Structure 1
C-alpha cells in the first residue's frame, strides 16, 4: 500500500465524521476534567463503603465519565439507526424498535445519573 492510498483512507469523510463524533462525546461526558484532574474511580463514604457517584455537580469520578460516555454513545447509535432507517426504502419495524429503545434507555439512565448526583 502506498502512502497516498493510506492518507486517502485516513482522511475519508466517514472516518473524520466518526472521529469528530467521538471527540464530541468525550467532551460532553467530562473527558477533559478526567484527564486534567485525575479523579478517583470511587469515593469512600464510610470506613467500609464506597460510592461510584460523587454527590454534587462540581466533581466527577472516572466511573461517572465512563457511564456518561457509554450512555451518550448508546443514544447516538439509536439516533444513527433512526436516520439510516429513514433513508432506507423498506422500513424495518425491528430496527425502529431497537433505535427507539436505545434512545429511551440512554435518556432514562442519564436522567437517573443526574438525579443521583443531585442527591436524590
Structure 2
C-alpha cells in the first residue's frame, strides 16, 4: 500500500498543481486500477482540498479512528482511487480533507467540495 500512496515532498519552488503532485505514473495507474473486491463501505463525506504541499494519496476523515488502507469514489466522474485513510477529529458527519493528487485522480476540480464514498480495504 505504501508504494502506491506515498510520494516525495514537492520542490520548495512548486506553485502549480502539476509541480505539487509528485505521484508517479505507476502510482497513479495502481491507485486507479479496478478494485479486486470492494472493501467495507464506511460512508459518504464532503471533502475539501487538504494541504497541497503534503504529498501522496490520502483522505483525512472522521470516518476512521486510525490510519488504514482505503478507496474513495467520486460518483460525479465515476472515478475512484486507492488512498491512505487518516483520522480527523470530528463527528462522522463532519467534512474531510483530500490530497491534491487524489483530487486530480478522481477528476474533481480543486476548488470543488466533492461528495465521496469512502471504503476501507
Q: TM-score range by the shorter chain?
A: under 0.3
Structure with the bigger percentage of helix: 1
Larger Rg: 1
Normalised to the residue count of structure 1, the TM-score between the two structures is 0.23
Q: Which fold has the larger relative contact order, with Cα–Cα distance below 8 Å and residues 6 or more apart in sequence?
A: 2
Structure with the bigger percentage of strand: 2
